[in-house]
Structure 1
Amino acid sequence: MFRIGSTDDGDELLVRLRTLTAQARAQAEVQRSRVELAVALQRGMLPRGLPVADGVRLSVRYAPANQGLNVGGDWYDAFTMPDGRIGLSIGDVQGHNIEAAAFMGQVRVGLRALASVDGDPGELLARTNELLLSLGSDLFATCTFLRLDPGTRLLESARAGHLPCVWATADGRSGVTRDEGGPPLGVQSGTVYPVTRYRLDTGGMFVMLTDGVVEGPSMPLDEGLHQAARLAGTAAVAGMNTDGLAAALIKGAERVGHDDDAAVLVIGHEEPATRP
Structure 2
Amino acid sequence: MSRKRSADDGDELLARLGLLTAQAREFAALQRSQVELAIALQRDMLPRDMPDVPGIHLAVRYSPAYSGLNVGGDWYDAFALSDGCIGLSVGDVQGHTTEAAAFMGQVRVGLRALASVTSEPGELLARTNDLLLTLGSDLFATCTFMRLDPVAGTLESARAGHVPSVWATADGRSGISQDEGGPPLGVQEGMEYPVTRYQLSTGGVFVLLTDGVVEGPILSLDEGLDQVVRLAGIAAVARMEADALAAAVIKNAEHVGHEDDAAVLVIAHDGRKVQP
Residue deviations 1:167-226 (CA, integer Å, cap 9, x gap): 111122111111100000111111110000000111111000000000011111111011
Which string of whole-angstrom CA distances, capped at 9 and with x for unpartnered residues, describes residues 207-254 of structure 1? 000000000111111110111111111111122111001001111101
Asked if 1 retains the 8 angstrom alpha-carbon contact of 2:81 and 2:119, the reply is yes
CA contact (8 A) 2:242 2:266 kept: yes
**Residues 219 and 256 of structure 2 are in contact (CA less than 8 Å); yes or no, is this contact kept in structure 1?**
yes
Alpha-carbon offset, residue 102 of structure 1:
1.2
- Counterpart secondary structure, 2:71: coil
> How many angstroms apart in 2 are the aligned matches of 1:237 and 1:272?
17
Aligned to 1:177: 177
Which range is displaced more, 202-211 or 9-18? 9-18
Alignment length (residue pairs): 273
Cα displacement string for residues 16-47 of structure 1 (whole angstroms, at most 9, x for unaligned residues): 22222221111111101100000101111111
Q: Which letter does structure 2 place at the counterpart of 1:231?
A: L
Q: Distance in 2 between matches of 1:24 and 1:217?
A: 32
Map 1:43-122; keep pairs closer than 5 Å: 43-122=43-122
Correspondence for 1:165:
165
Report the counterpart of residue 27 of structure 1 in structure 2. 27
* Contact 2:151 2:273 (8 Å CA) reproduced: no
Give yes or no for contact 2:72–2:260 (8 Å, CA) kept in 1: no
The letter of the residue matching 2:157 is S
For 1:113 and 1:27, locate their aligned partners in 2 and report how far apart those are by CA, in whole Å: 38
Tell me the equivalent position of 1:17.
17
Q: Shift of residue 273 of structure 1?
A: 7.9
2: CA distance between counterparts of 1:247 and 1:22?
43
What code does the residue aligned with 1:203 have? G
Correspondence for 2:7:
7
Aligned residue number for residue 237 of structure 2: 237
Question: What SS does structure 1 have at the residue aligned with 2:68?
Answer: coil
Name the CA distance, whole Å, in 2 between partners of 1:255 and 1:13: 47
Greater Cα shift, 118-127 or 96-105 = 96-105
Cα distance between partner residues in 2 of 1:47 and 1:161: 23
Any idea what SS the aligned residue of 1:89 has?
strand
Distance (Å, rounded) in 2 between the aligned partners of 1:209 and 1:270:
21
Partner Cα separation in structure 2 for residue 49 and residue 272 of structure 1: 22
Q: Which consecutive residues of structure 2, in runs of 5 or more, have no partner in the other structure? A: none
What's the TM-score once normalised by structure 2's chain length?
Answer: 0.95
Q: What is the rounded CA distance, in whole Å, between the counterparts of 2:28 and 2:134 in structure 1? A: 36
Aligned with 1:6: secondary structure? helix
In the alignment, what sits opposite 1:210? 210
Normalization by structure 1: what TM-score? Answer: 0.95
Matched, 1:247 2:247: yes
Counterpart of 2:224? 224
Structure 1: unaligned runs, 5 residues or longer: none
Q: Using the aligned pairs only, state the percent identity.
A: 72
Return the alpha-carbon distance in structure 1 between the equivalents of residues 13 and 138 of structure 2. 45
- Tell me how far 1:72 sits from its aligned partner: 2.9
Amino acid at match of 2:114: L
2:39 is aligned to 39
